A and B are shown apart, each in its own frame.
Chain A
Amino acid sequence: MDVDMIFKIAAVGIIVAVLNQLLIRSGREDQALLTTIAGLVVALMMIINEISDLFDTIKQVFGF
């Protein structure tokens, strides 16, 4: 069970939150939004691979 995936996503979330605050405080709201969206895409890409592995395993084990 590779739990490092959980910590990777948590790290991305925390970094994006900090960057968001940083950019908002320095007056660049639009870049803050772009940073959030970029971080979201990275996290989604990670989790989509994980979910596709899960569904493939289910399909293979239960004979879909």
Chain B
Amino acid sequence: MNIISICVAAIVTSVLAVLLKKHNAEYSLILTVCCVTLILMYLISSVVFAVSGIEDIFANSSIDITYMETLLKCVGICFVTEFTCDCCKDASQNALSSVVLMSGRICVLITAFPLFKEFLSLSLDLTGGGG
């Protein structure tokens, strides 16, 4: 994970984007989105081994594997939503970015709902208040 190459790419892209903004703004937007995509792709390719490490830890521990899958799915949803939201904000489309943000939150809520249910039932059992 070479942070220097990421910073250089970002600076070069922002300079090129400013250059292109004067004549035709749509190209500077496309350029920025392209550079963000490249950096995210580079980021994910270096995160992959961390994810498999987490899976190994969860595999030999007693914790159920579905919790970890839900957790990873929520992280993925946040990843995609953040990317899209910032790209829309970059194109000064604040309405689009806020609706994407809201749908991302709801998606995470729906994905994590079984976890909440399980947690509530567990806590009710512990406190002995359950039916």
Which B35-53 residues have a C-beta within 8 angstroms of A? 35, 37-42, 44-45, 47-48, 51
The answer on a CB contact under 8 Å between B34 and A17 is no
The answer on a CB contact under 8 Å between A63 and B41 is no
The answer on a CB contact under 8 Å between B20 and A46 is no
Given known pairs A6-B16, A57-B44, the reply for A50 and B38 (CB within 8 Å) is yes
The answer on a CB contact under 8 Å between B79 and A16 is no
Q: How many residues of A contact B (CB 8 A)?
A: 34
A38 in the interface (beta carbon within 8 A): no
A34 in the interface (beta carbon within 8 A): no
The answer on a CB contact under 8 Å between B24 and A17 is yes
Given known pairs A63-B69, A64-B76, the reply for A16 and B27 (CB within 8 Å) is yes
- Which residue of the partner chain A has the closest CB to B20? A13
A interface: dominant SS: helix
The answer on a CB contact under 8 Å between B76 and A17 is no
B60 in the interface (beta carbon within 8 A): no
B12 in the interface (beta carbon within 8 A): yes
Distance between Cα atoms of A51 and B36 in the complex (Å): 10
B28 in the interface (beta carbon within 8 A): yes
Contacting residues, chain A, for B20 (C-beta < 8 A):
10, 13-14, 17
**Residues 5-16 of chain A: 1 if any B CB is under 8 Å from the residue's CB, otherwise 0?**
111011011101
What's the least CB distance linking B85 to chain A, in Å? 14
Name A's B-contacting residues (CB within 8 A). Answer: 1-3, 5-7, 9-10, 12-14, 16-17, 20-21, 36, 39-40, 43-44, 46-47, 50-51, 53-55, 57-59, 61-64
In the A-B complex, list the 7 residue pairs whose CB atoms are closest, starting with the nearest. Answer: A62-B76, A13-B27, A17-B23, A10-B16, A1-B42, A13-B20, A62-B72
